[in-house]
Amino acid sequence: MLRLVMVAAGLVSLLSGLLKIRSLRRRPHAAAPRAMCVGLLFFGASFLVVAPPHPLLISDFLHVPNSGRLLGNLLTLAAAGSIQVLMLHLVHPPDVARRRVRHRLIVLALVALAMTVLLVSARTATVPSFIESYATYTPIFVYQLLYLSCLAVAVADLINLAVRYSQHVPPLLRTGLRVVAAGGVILAVHTGYKLVRIIAAFYGHQLPGDQSAVSAVLASAGGILVAAGTTLPVWAPWALSPVRLARQYRSYRRLAPLWRELSSALPDIKLTQAEVEHPWTMDIRLYRRVIEIRDAQMSLRPYSEPAAVAAAVQDARRRGLTGDHLQAEVDAVALVTGLRRWRSDGPGVVPAVPLRRDAGDASLAHEIRYLERVAAAFVPAQRS
């Protein structure tokens, strides 16, 4: 089970890195996407290397005691360093980012060199319970402290930069960065747990429970969240497309009665196929329906009855409605009375200007929600 969790985390990170390669091809010289790809690939490789019994197999293959563990730890540091590079380039101007990246990479390289010298020169044997077996052996204790201290600084940097940058980006990227920060928090707990574990072992104490399983689960959960957060802008639109399509279809159906009533009275509002590209996709159909309803509103506005509109305003306010809810009720009455006068008197009626909401001042999603309210109020207004 432990192996499956770590292999799954590794495959998620590798897949995430491969997904980001497409954006890297579009921006080959951009430092942030390149660092993200490299970091995710390093993360994935590190999980696959340290998943049991892979460290033992790698060590036996290389004929260097515990070289599999060393390789996994170095890959983890490389991944953490790459994610730091990513965040620094997102938060700081290029010149500042390059300077800070250079300092971090120098420290990372020195730590990696020291770890390699300590482990290769130490007299150890390849054993599954590495920490407990060599807890009081000074070279390995220093090795572990160097590794975990460097990892702790990288994780703290990741959390800080993710939280700071999330305040200045669009919603989807903000969500991704918050997921990254959550993953960083879990990785910080993992790093703290391992530090407590090796210090306790150094003084002859042992933490309760299956320590390897706890460490692996924390590391896997944190790694998956970091991988998911950094690639969220890539996969979220695709993953949420069924939900988006269902919402569009629901809105399309909700607007249908109002649209049919308006288009039957004003057939000229219907857009021709040549006026809109890809007319049969649901998002375009919904977009067309919104435009056609808005065009009908503009055409019928001069025909609405001011007295009925004023009465609708008072009634809506008496019921406690405000904002778009109030305006939807008023516009529904304006449409109903405008349709009646259009059908009875036709063009040439003296224009009247009712209380209305200006069109085109909101996003399409907001327009759709607003027109759904108008459509819901339209049928009751017809009966009154």
Is the same domain home to 12 and 157?
yes
Q: Are residues 235 and 256 in the same domain?
A: no
Question: Model-level pTM greater than 0.85?
Answer: no
Q: Are 76 and 191 part of one and the same domain?
A: yes
Which residue, 201, 219, 239, sits at the end of a domain?
A: 239
Residue-level pLDDT, tens digit, the chain, 384 residues: 667 777 877 788 888 777 777 666 666 667 777 887 888 888 888 888 888 888 888 988 888 888 998 999 999 899 888 878 877 887 778 888 888 888 888 988 999 999 999 998 888 888 877 877 887 888 999 998 999 998 888 888 888 878 887 887 788 888 888 998 999 899 999 999 988 888 888 888 877 777 777 887 888 888 888 888 877 877 777 777 888 888 889 999 999 999 998 988 888 888 765 444 555 578 888 888 899 999 988 888 888 888 888 888 888 888 888 888 888 888 898 888 888 888 887 655 555 544 444 444 457 788 888 888 888 888 787 776
The pLDDT, as a whole number, for residue 112 is 92
Give the Cα-Cα-Cα angle 265, 266, 268 (nearest 5 degrees).
Answer: 150
Residue ending a domain, among 239, 255, 288, is: 239
State the pLDDT at residue 254: 92
In whole angstroms, what separates CA 233 from the centre of its chain? 5
| One domain, residues 65 and 116 | yes
Query: What is the CATH number for 189?
Result: 1.20.1070.10
Q: Are residues 319 and 233 in the same domain?
A: no
Enclosing domain of residue 336? 242-383
**Same-domain status, 233 and 278:** no
Asked if residue 86 and residue 189 are part of one domain, the reply reads yes
Residues 145 and 64 placed together within one structural domain of the fold? yes
Distance of CA 254 to the CA centre of its chain: 29
pLDDT at 355: 40
Using N-to-C axis directions, what is the helix angle for 31-50 and 2-26, rounded to 10°? 160
Give exposure, 44-71, as e/b (b: 16+ Cβ within 10 Å). bbbbbbbbeebbeebbeeeeebbbbbbb
Backbone angle region of 127, left / alpha / beta, with phi > 0 → left and psi within -120 to 50 → alpha: beta
Pick from 239, 263, 292: which residue ends a domain? 239
Q: What is the 3-state secondary structure (H, E, C) of 96-150?
A: HHHHHHHHHHHHHHHHHHHHHHHHHHCCCCCCCCHHHHCCCCHHHHHHHHHHHHH
189 lies in the same domain as 252? no
**11 and 157 both lie in a single domain:** yes
Overall domain count for the chain: 2
Residues 234 and 247 in one domain: no
**191 and 340 housed in the same domain:** no
